[in-house]
Chain A
Amino acid sequence: MTSRDSTLRTQGTPEFELLLESAKPPIDGDAADPFGLTGDVDWALLLDLAVEHGMVPLVRRWLEDTGWRGVPDAVRTWLDERHEENRRRNRLLTIELLALLDRLKAAGIEAIPFKGPVAASVCYGDLEARPFGDIDLLVAPADVRGAMEVMARSGYAPLIPLSETQRAAFLRHRTEYPLQRPARGGIVDLHWELFHRQFYFPLAPDRSRMREVEIAGQLVRTMGNEDQLLMLCAHATKHLWVRLEWIASVAWLVARHAEIDWELAEARAGSLGGLRMLGLGLALAHDLLGSRPPRAPALAESTDPVIAKLVIEVVGRLEDRSAPPEDWLRFYLRARERRRDRAAILIRTAVIPTIGDWRMLDLPQPLTGLHYALRPIRLLGRGVRHLRSGGGDE
């Protein structure tokens, strides 16, 4: 992370400024509106932004803490309604998660929940502070089939319509599998790796640093704060940091957990080639939300110019509401500091079949490896079609 003494100066529309204020971790319990931000707000725009950025709960909480000063009744009513929906959705998913963890545990399978209720509890200490729409569980690769059997007995069915052959290949080559009950409850993403292989960030929870977090009165075992931080930064990078709430999660995690072992976090990130992603997340949290800089030598003193450029790019996109770039691959590459990781991303993107590839051709079991050969051909075909249709460079 670059050393910066002051926060980044944004273009500063009232709506974006209010969004930023509500994303900041509270300081000394002061939740006043010192800037009179609610005065010139285009409320419809603010609500649109809050939805886009997963910030509805935090915006509502901030306005409530400031006494709803200057907030039109209709806006308050809308926020209250969304708050109630968010509370019900999050509680339902939390209950579903806890029930599933119990059943997996009873079958001797350790599942580590991440994102969703865990991130809400660890980062904000509040299940309702962020919206979540599904359940993410990580199991050891050897436990995937067992976990799927437990889930099948609990009424879950795979969401991806694949043949048996495709499914076997899918489990070998992919890193997660979505399941859901027929009544359309929460989607459970059953992971055996945290990130898809094209992204190439082989973070696995450090067993020696696992921690427990209390969720709805139940202790749940999840990854340590350092891994949590790395996971949040990598996940947001995977999605090009298009949501302010992801930056808020980082800022709140840092603010609420002074016990974070920064040297360990830095060492973990460095060994996995994720130092720049971590630095980017911390820089965004610092520059936009005033998060304190980390007490880790390399992160605090880094002058990595790429991080500064990525910060400007991300913030610009957040502010002007521009669509995420189609060339996400370029962002992935720039967000990685090691040449070998960039090469791995390129190679994997070129050869690892996507779901579309699996679906396009249902090859018999002995021939599923051909998907790897067909993937580059398919990509080439798409490129040619794109050029013929007058598209720009990808």
Chain B
Amino acid sequence: MHGPDERYAVRGDEVAAKSFDGEVVVVHLGTCTYYSASGSGADAWTWIEEGRKLGDVAAAIAERYDIDADRARRDLTPFVARLLEEGLIAPANDDGPLVSSSPSASPSPSIAADTDYSPPELHAYRDMADLLALDPPLPELDRPAWRVAGDDEQG
């Protein structure tokens, strides 16, 4: 596991996150990639975003889900590695986060304490640009002129 005293900060220049009904959605604005984490993953993200040390995050997960602390630490390691690999977080200074994230109104982790535990996972969706380009299909008149090859009187 990354050191228990290590803290990380969300790369707020490129990354924004919000919580929707217990699911944390993280968007890498630079790559237009959509990440989703729920359950212990949503909790872990929220606590990492708050600037907690990894050891504290693992302990909090262990307490919330009533699991062994070693297991929580073991499971957290690949999750954090993935966040780093995807460029969503960066090591924070001792004095505080390197970059504060945009205010995410991060709710306190929203999953009930007795929720069944599963290791934190991050789901990535890399098809968002295509999704935005293709859908929703718009009536011809709704297409602004700059998306139409030729002239368009609609402005």
Contacts and interface: CB of A to CB of B under 8 A. Distances in A.
Interface of A: 51-52, 54, 56, 85-86, 88-89, 91-96, 98-99, 102-103, 127, 131-133, 154-155, 159-160, 174-175, 178, 181, 183-187, 189, 196-199, 216-218, 238-240, 242-243, 323-324, 328, 349, 354-357
Interface in B51-95: none
B25 interface: yes
A131 B135 contact: yes
B135 A88 contact: no
Contact of B145 (A85, A86, A93, A355): A355
Nearest to B18: A216
B34 interface: yes
A95 B135 CA distance: 18
A11 B132 CA distance: 35
A183 to B, nearest CB: 4
A349 B129 CA distance: 34
Contacts of B137: 51-52
Given A95-B18, A185-B129, A186-B132, A355 B103 contact: no
B29 interface: yes
Contacts of B104: 217
Contact of B139 (A98, A127, A242): A242
A89 B18 contact: no
Nearest to B150: A356
Given A98-B16, A159-B146, A328 B132 contact: no
B146 A178 contact: yes
B112 interface: no
A324 B141 contact: yes
Given A155-B29, A183-B31, 15 more contacts: A51-B136, A85-B131, A86-B136, A98-B16, A98-B102, A133-B138, A184-B133, A196-B154, A216-B105, A217-B19, A324-B140, A354-B155, A355-B145, A356-B151, A356-B152
Nearest to B146: A160
B136 A133 contact: yes
Contacts of A243: 139, 142
Interface residues of B, number: 41
Interface string B16-35: 11111000010101111010
B116 interface: no
B143 to A, nearest CB: 10
Interface of B: 16-20, 25, 27, 29-32, 34, 102-107, 125, 128-129, 131-133, 135-142, 144-146, 150-155
A133 B132 contact: yes
B31 A98 contact: no
Nearest to B155: A196
B47 to A, nearest CB: 17
Nearest to A184: B129
A322 to B, nearest CB: 12
Contacts of B152: 354-356
B125 to A, nearest CB: 6
B144 A181 contact: no
A387 B41 CA distance: 64
A182 to B, nearest CB: 8
Contacts of B32: 92, 181, 183-185
A251 to B, nearest CB: 20
Contact of B131 (A88, A323, A349): A88
A355 B155 contact: yes
Given A51-B137, A91-B18, A95-B25, A181 B102 contact: no
Nearest to A219: B105
A52 B139 contact: yes
A102 B136 contact: no
Contacts of B131: 85, 88-89
A240 B154 CA distance: 11
Nearest to B107: A217
A272 B107 CA distance: 42
13 contacts: A92-B132, A96-B16, A98-B16, A131-B136, A155-B30, A183-B30, A184-B32, A196-B155, A217-B106, A239-B139, A239-B141, A355-B145, A356-B151
A89 B16 contact: no
A385 B133 CA distance: 33
